[in-house]
Amino acid sequence: MADFNKILDAGDVDGGEINVVVEIPTGSNHKIEWNRELACFELDRVEPVAFAKPCNYGFIPQTLDEDGDELDALIITDQPLTTGIFLKAKVIGVMKFVDDGEVDDKVIVVPADDRNNGNAYNSLDDLPKQLIKQLEFHFNHYKDLKKAGTTKVEGFFDAEEAKKVIKESQKRWVEKV
């Protein structure tokens, strides 16, 4: 029988293997978000097709970024993942990001047990350079077709910096939720 007192947490941050919940599959222009109050996913908006997500997009449970939402994760896989699933993920870096003046960092992860790729991605340096350029372009420009809003990618940093961001977000979760 299930123990309903257990809830999904961030996982083993120090060990670099965390839990991530998928919100948006690669290639989707549907901005799907976790609604913490209703405990379900909701369609927040439909983005222009030109700004479909270049990778799977999700969040790390029991974390809060400085913008008040769960800490975001960019999940690198060969195929789109389904909204609502969770996976054990290996932390490989973080994209420092500012959205409308608020810190909205994105932890970059790959599946922890990615045997098909031989766990080839262990750091940001292992990712294709074109993918990094696509991520940077997407997040710097996805609001360009809207009347309001500014975004800025401030850089890409290693797994140790990502772990610091996660731990700060865990602390914020404990303090605010």
Q: Domains of the chain: which residue ranges?
A: 11-176
- The domain over range 11-176 is classified in CATH as 3.90.80.10: yes
Q: Which residues are annotated as a binding site for substrate?
A: 31, 45, 57, 142
17-56 confidence digits (pLDDT tens)? 999 999 999 999 999 999 999 999 999 999 999 999 999 9
pLDDT per position as a tens digit, 59-103: 999 999 999 999 999 999 999 999 999 999 999 999 999 999 999
**Residue list for the binding site for Mg(2+):** 67, 72, 104
Distance CA 28, CA 138 (A): 13
- Binding residues, by number, are 31, 45, 57, 67, 72, 104, 142
Interatomic CA distance for residues 53 and 138, integer angstroms = 8
- pTM, two decimals, is 0.94
Q: If you count them, how many residues does the chain have? A: 177
